[in-house]
Amino acid sequence: MKVTDHIKNAKGKTLFSFEIVPPVKGKNIQELYNNIDPLMEFKPPFIDVTTSREEYVYVEKQGLLEKQMTRMRPGTVGICASIKHKYDVDTVPHVLCGGFTREETEYVLVDCHYLGIDNIMALRGDAMKDQKYFVPTKGGHTYATELVEQIQSLNKGDYLHGTIESGNCSDFCIGVAGYPEKHLEAPSLKSDLKRLKEKVEAGADYVVTQMFFDNQKYFAFVKAARDMGIEVPIIPGIKPIAVKRHLQILPQVFRIDLPQDLIDAVDDCEDNKAVRQVGVEWAIQQSKELKEAGVPVLHYYSMGKSDNIHAVAKAMF
């Protein structure tokens, strides 16, 4: 079922969902299940599965190091299919512009259609690790808007080589990313919002936000989006702080601000067990206020072990 239909059917009740990251290749999928299992008691209507683009690794060959391109966390669509089958839950594969040609994207989308996947999260992706700026892949898309357009074309039976009239078109519901504190490359929040509006006009059905730790940023973002005429659901993304290093990493990687009270509370912690508890309590407070404000879904970034998401969900659902 489409994410937007889940929201409609909930009739104003806030839903629970979360995002998982595929394991590094070679690892057992059971590890992933072990993290998902405890969260299923909160009945998520959908689970997102991220995609990682290609990266360079150095492989030793006859005493010399050779640079090789690889995908360390493959399997997004396969994982979506296995979770859907195992737990009878909708899954949302993340599909990226970066690292994929249009042709490869069409291949992935056709697979998703055959597997009965109804939702796609359409994203540009970041620059490769050794690049300063995002460089579009040859034959791929430059912005997420173009990816949304490709998915919408497929929904009409328009494939890259031409139209197929078969009565068996996909009907993907499309999610896109939104940034309450603006995307790091955007010159201003207003211009980033204009780009978000373009994604919605191209056919995006809902927005999931980047993580934020100050709810006022989310509320202001939603208001600015509504004032600009963006009417689709805007789902808040929440991440509980889990280790002290997050104080440096999260602002650096995602260009987001952390409230001083949260920084002070984490600074006062003696170890990461205590940090994890602070992160859970902060996320519960955030979640309570967002739920009271009537958000459609509380969407949690699990990024590894899910015990903290479980603790937050237990207090909320």
Nearer to ligand FAD, 237 or 279 (CB): 237
Nearer to ligand FAD, 256 or 280 (CB): 256
Active-site amino acid positions: 19
SS3 content of the chain, % helix, strand, coil (to 5): 40, 20, 40
> Where would I find the H helices in the chain?
3-9, 30-36, 76-87, 102-114, 144-155, 189-202, 215-227, 246-254, 260-267, 272-292, 307-316
Nearer to ligand FAD, 183 or 265 (CB): 183
What's the CA gap between 283 and 9, in Å, rounded? 26
Nearer to ligand FAD, 6 or 183 (CB): 183
For residue 165, the minimal CB distance to ligand FAD (Å) is 31
Element (H, E) at 61: strand 55-61
Q: How distant, in Å, are the alpha carbons of 77, 90, 224, 236 from that of 119?
A: 12, 8, 26, 18
Tell me how far apart the terminal alpha carbons of the chain are, to the nearest angstrom. 21
* Nearest by Cα to 308 from 241, 219, 250: 241
Nearer to ligand FAD, 73 or 244 (CB): 73
Element (H, E) at 123: strand 119-123
CB-based burial, 139-169: b 16+ in 10 Å, e otherwise: ebbebbbbbbbbbbebbeeeeeeeeeeeeee
For residue 61, the minimal CB distance to ligand FAD (Å) is 29
For residue 99, the minimal CB distance to ligand FAD (Å) is 8
Nearer to ligand FAD, 234 or 265 (CB): 234
What's the CA gap between 56 and 207, in Å, rounded? 31
For residue 90, the minimal CB distance to ligand FAD (Å) is 16
For residue 223, the minimal CB distance to ligand FAD (Å) is 19
Binding residues (CB under 6 A) for ligand FAD: these are 50-53, 94, 96, 123-126, 143-145, 177, 183, 185-186, 192, 195, 199, 208, 210, 237
For residue 51, the minimal CB distance to ligand FAD (Å) is 5
Residue 297 one-letter amino acid = V
